Structure 1
Amino acid sequence: MAIERAVRVLRAYFIDRRDRAPRRGTLEGLMLVGKNADASARITWGRDPLLLEIWAFVDHEAYKGKERYWGRAQAVLKSQLVRAIEVELSVFTVDEAERFALTNPWLAERYEGGIVLFDRAMDPPRNAEGLAAHDRITAAVASLDEPQRIAFQRYRAYGLDLGRISRPLRTSEAEARMILAEAFGTLLAEIGDEARPRSLRSHLGNHPRHNLDLYHRPGDFDLLLAVTFYRRAVDHVGMMVEAHARDRGSTVVQEAAYATEFALKALLLHAGYGDDWNRRHIGLDLEAALNHARANGLDPPSAELERLITPLSDYHHGGRQPDQAQAVLVALPPAEIVETAATLVADVGTITGYAGLPGEEA
């Protein structure tokens, strides 16, 4: 995660936005070197920060050196990474790297053992299949509505920095998170699996592909999913209220179960839990979800929620059978189920800052 963030920051920093001299040169590549580039080495954390040694390669002698052009980048890296991680940046010209074997065997050995993090010659990929995928992704991004396109472009430049994403949108950070989540949903539906970069397949966990120019933290997608889950919970609250108005008790129970699941999981994702972890360890167990939510900011349950949660959980992970719905209705009448589930969703909205966001159906 730290390496991906460092690469994104360094690449964004070296984009030349000046329209007249002095202009910055071209960033040709980034490489991880040293012991942390050795796949066979055991990496351990001690009292000292974990040091990541990154080499940058530029196209002209005038742009090398740590301080002249890269001092600000170092400062940004320090603010972006956790305290347990530091980046040591060295900047060489491409010509220097080609002469390492002749001029400095020690540098040559580190260069040969390094891991390429970015290579301008490979961005985008030049094979026909890669170029077709790149063109499809580019077209999909261009077709996004303006708020989604702005949010996605800011994410590509700065990562999940909601302050920077929300400012040009003139929205709250919660609304910016919602817009960004919608952008990803629209984009992934449009490009399809065959063109989807590996960086958007969170289960693979390997280095991001360059064809989307997207360096992210894998946890970003879980944080975006949090706001989507909350909005789904809001939708189910609405359907629950409608079912109660029509005197459909079994439907009230069903919608309450879904509203409770999505609300609690939204809180857990917001707190840093992964969606995969939730699937493996919680699944449809609402009692387990409630216990984890209490450990992450949710107040102790009300007497009504205490009475509701066990039969509702049994109903939800037991297949949502009619006889199980009756057991829930015995524990709590429909009107109190509606109030209890709606209050839980509202409490999650307050804790996460998502209160006031519309449901997905809206």
Structure 2
Amino acid sequence: MAEDHDGRAPTLAAQAKHDREMSDYYEMRDRIIARVAHLDPYPRMAIERAVRVLRAYFIDRRNRAPRHGTLEGLMLVGKNADPAAKIAWDREPLLFEIWAFVDHEAYKGKERYWGRAQAVLRSQLGRAIEVELSVFTIAEAGRFLLTNSWLAERYDGGIVLYDRAMDPPRSSDAEAAHERIANAAEALDEPQRIAFQRYRTHGFDLGRISRALRTSEAEARMILAEAFGALLAEVGDEARTRTLRSHLGNHPRHNLDLYHRPGDFDRLLAVTFYRRAVDHVGMMVEAHARDRAGKIVQEAAYATEFALKALLLHVGYSEDWNRRFIGLDLEGTMRHARANGLEPPSDELERLITPLSDYHRGGRTPDQARAVLTALPPAEIVETAATLVADVGTITGYAGLLGEELP
């Protein structure tokens, strides 16, 4: 055991605290790097260093109330926060826009609290990387959607680099939640445990995950989705207080203790939806074998919805957007799917989609089911819906994946 500065061996409690702090330190570094995996290695490491510097130099020097200022979070915004962008360092410096969030107006003063940090950043990052810093209060973040659409768009598209409610050092409640997640992750069966570990280290890099699992990227996505499903079932989807994403509500996509980016939830949900569509096709075929026409229509509606939304999630739509602007409108979903790779519908699908959409949106009543059966006989409904699911599987690469075995 190492000695402390007085030459005495540290106590077990002190050593345990030191070990925990070092574990948090390395975990936080890994988290930041994984959250900006779309960057080249050099700017990726520069962002991680910038976060460390900005966190270290938020110092409270006030001698009167409000005395104890808190850094609530750091976020990368702008074009370099786009994971689809190709961002590589060239001769010109890369400019990264970082937003800091504090708990009181008094702590927004750059000269008092951030001047030294910016000077250190310039000296440590050199000429290749520049950081443009803006400081807001945590309350302002919640008002962006109401007061400034431009700021709201950048905020919603940003990458959370540090969130005090989620990341170390944590409150006692957050620490307990993190401990539950860590224990649940360790208890995952393989290959889910391997998939989750790779995701935590490298972010949503299906190439790395699939190589570790020795499987296809589509199946790796399925296994990772199963891992997250198991974890959410184990630890729940409780919201963290004061998180940067608190205005979005209690939803697992915003639990940054699990997801590197909120959008990762939607990318995993794509394969989950496809597998649900496959299961509904199976139940539809079984209903046809039992000559249950009403059940055929019901399962066809669900298979169609989940298949089309799987495609939309796969190409970048969010589940929240789908729910707010499409809902159960199968015709509307079809239009968006056609704009994103789905072939024009067959004659059978053209005849089916309108009455099936009316049925699905209207509460799935027996009268609406009869209207669907008037448009297309049961056998053709089964074939048409199954073909649509197969086409989505081909476009997304999910063809061949097993269903989810719905209850």
Above 0.5 in TM-score?
yes
* Superposed counterparts of 1:72-87, under 5 Å: 82-83=85-86, 87=94
Distance in 2, Cα, partners of 1:129 & 1:172: 38
1:203 corresponds, among 226, 245, 248, to: 248
Partner of 1:298: 342
Distance in 2, Cα, partners of 1:350 & 1:302: 16
1:152 corresponds, among 192, 196, 203, to: 196
User: Residue 291 of structure 1: SS of its match in structure 2?
Assistant: helix
Partner of 2:52: 29
Contact 1:28 1:119 in 2 (8 A): no
Distance in 2, Cα, partners of 1:146 & 1:234: 24
User: Residue 31 of structure 1: SS of its match in structure 2?
Assistant: helix
Partner of 1:247: 291
CA deviations 1:70-111 (Å, max 9, x no partner) are xxxxxxxx9x7724797459xxxxxxxxxxx9xxx9645667
Unaligned runs of 5+ in 1: 15-25, 33-42, 53-77, 90-100
2:270 corresponds, among 209, 226, 240, to: 226
Contact 2:259 2:265 in 1 (8 A): no
Contact 2:355 2:371 in 1 (8 A): yes
Contact 2:163 2:244 in 1 (8 A): no
2:400 corresponds, among 316, 337, 356, to: 356
1:138 corresponds, among 182, 185, 189, to: 182
2:205 corresponds, among 152, 157, 161, to: 161
User: Residue 54 of structure 2: SS of its match in structure 1?
Assistant: strand
Unaligned runs of 5+ in 2: 1-30, 43-48, 56-75, 97-110, 122-132, 136-159
- Paired AA for residue 258 in structure 1: Y
What value does the CA root-mean-square deviation take over the aligned residues?
Answer: 3.9
Query: Relative contact order (alpha carbons < 8 A, sep ≥ 6): 1 or 2 greater?
Result: 1
Q: Structure 1 residues 9 and 290 mapped into 2: Cα distance closer, same or farther (>3 Å)?
A: closer
Q: Structure 1 residues 136 and 268 mapped into 2: Cα distance closer, same or farther (>3 Å)?
A: same
Distance in 2, Cα, partners of 1:174 & 1:82: 22
Distance in 2, Cα, partners of 1:311 & 1:282: 16
Partner of 2:352: 308
Distance in 1, Cα, partners of 2:323 & 2:84: 29
- Paired AA for residue 316 in structure 2: G
- Paired AA for residue 184 in structure 1: F
Q: Structure 1 residues 84 and 117 mapped into 2: Cα distance closer, same or farther (>3 Å)?
A: closer
What is the Cα deviation at residue 181 of structure 1?
Answer: 0.6
Distance in 2, Cα, partners of 1:314 & 1:149: 42
Q: Structure 1 residues 264 and 126 mapped into 2: Cα distance closer, same or farther (>3 Å)?
A: closer
What is the Cα deviation at residue 193 of structure 1?
Answer: 3.6
What is the Cα deviation at residue 138 of structure 1?
Answer: 1.1
Distance in 1, Cα, partners of 2:33 & 2:329: 38
Partner of 1:344: 388
- Paired AA for residue 203 in structure 1: L
User: Residue 52 of structure 2: SS of its match in structure 1?
Assistant: strand
Q: Structure 1 residues 5 and 217 mapped into 2: Cα distance closer, same or farther (>3 Å)?
A: farther
Distance in 2, Cα, partners of 1:335 & 1:108: 69
CA deviations 1:291-313 (Å, max 9, x no partner) are 11110000000000000000111
* Superposed counterparts of 1:89-128, under 5 Å: 107=116, 117-118=161-162, 124-128=168-172
Partner of 1:21: none
Q: Structure 1 residues 195 and 27 mapped into 2: Cα distance closer, same or farther (>3 Å)?
A: same
1:334 equivalent to 2:378? Answer yes
CA deviations 1:325-354 (Å, max 9, x no partner) are 001101100000000000000000000000
1:282 equivalent to 2:321? Answer no
Distance in 2, Cα, partners of 1:174 & 1:30: 38
Q: Structure 1 residues 82 and 250 mapped into 2: Cα distance closer, same or farther (>3 Å)?
A: same
Partner of 2:231: 187
Q: Structure 1 residues 118 and 296 mapped into 2: Cα distance closer, same or farther (>3 Å)?
A: closer
TM-score (norm 1): 0.69
Q: What percentage of residue pairs aligned between the two structures are identical?
A: 67
- Paired AA for residue 286 in structure 2: E
Q: Structure 1 residues 106 and 248 mapped into 2: Cα distance closer, same or farther (>3 Å)?
A: closer
- Paired AA for residue 302 in structure 2: Y
Contact 2:287 2:295 in 1 (8 A): yes
